[in-house]
Structure 1
Amino acid sequence: MFHKALIGLTLTFSLQALAAPVQMADTPEGEILTNTIGMSLYVFDKDTQGVSNCNDTCADNWPPLAATSDDTADGDYGIVTRADGSLQWSYQGQPLYLWKEDKQAGDISGDGKFDVWHLARP
């Protein structure tokens, strides 16, 4: 019996690990999407549906919300293949990014940056 219970716990944990690493948070700017530790997520106006156009230096400044080959798209959350072959989470087809200048959960300093970066909203 103990063995079966342990297997069930392992499967539950594994399935949870495959979910999109995104949650919602309330900010002074309204409800936004964040990663699992509360760092704000952003979208880029120069991206197109399902395509990231932020590469090289851009991606150094705006790190993509990384996905792995074990992750599975679900509902509004999808996975985009980037130009370098790596995988990135998306929300309703828009690739999701972090901003390197946000230092702690709740920071939203990338919103409106260069008039092309915006907080990701549910």
Structure 2
Amino acid sequence: MLRNLILAAALSVGVAACATAMTTPVKTGETALGTVLVDGKGMTLYTFDKDTMPGKSVCNGPCAQNWPPLPVSAGAEASGDWSVVSRDDGSKQWAYKGKPLYTWVKDQKPGDTTGNGFLNNAWHVAKP
């Protein structure tokens, strides 16, 4: 039992070290809507149709409380389809193919997609 705990702790430290070196904290997950982009916790990521200017998010203030931006960790670097958006509050957010990425506060567990189609179909699951 103690050996398993030590191995689990070592593995989590290794995973954390890899996460810092990664360029993005995103992977794919399976949902009822098919394969989507998910954050490190497996929560579905979304894009917002009103984010029309590359490198700019219009979801700020109360919007960002309901749709938390996918944060960029210190030292992470953008490449390929991934870019970094500077938000109005000075924080940094990941974008995929120019579209800023968000989670949705009403999704309760990995695989939930309750934000898809929200606000007159302006919010969509992010697809790879």
TM-score range, shorter chain: 0.7 to 0.9
Q: Paired residue for 1:100?
A: 105
Structure 2: 5+ residue runs without aligned partners? 1-15
Deviation for aligned residue 1:15: 5.8
- Secondary structure in 1 aligned to 2:30? strand
- Higher percent of residues as strand: 1
Judge conservation of contact 1:69–1:87 (CA < 8 Å) in 2. Answer: no
State the number of aligned residues: 112
Distance 1:18 1:98 in 2: 22
TM-score when normalising by structure 1: 0.84
Q: Paired residue for 1:39?
A: 43
Distance 1:75 1:62 in 2: 25
Distance 1:33 1:107 in 2: 12
TM-score when normalising by structure 2: 0.81
Distance 1:92 1:72 in 2: 15
Distance 1:105 1:88 in 2: 21
Distance 1:56 1:39 in 2: 21
Deviation for aligned residue 1:30: 1.4
Superposition RMSD on alpha carbons, in Å?
A: 1.8
Distance 1:16 1:58 in 2: 28
Sequence identity (%): 45
Distance 1:18 1:92 in 2: 21
Is 1:27 aligned to 2:31, yes or no?
yes
1:81 to 82, 86, 93: 86
Structure 1: 5+ residue runs without aligned partners? 1-12
The letter for the 1-side match of 2:91 is S
Q: Paired residue for 2:124?
A: 118
1:9-59 CA-partner distances (Å, limit 9, x unpaired): xxxx75641320100112221111000121000000000222100000000
The letter for the 1-side match of 2:84 is I
Judge conservation of contact 1:39–1:106 (CA < 8 Å) in 2. Answer: yes
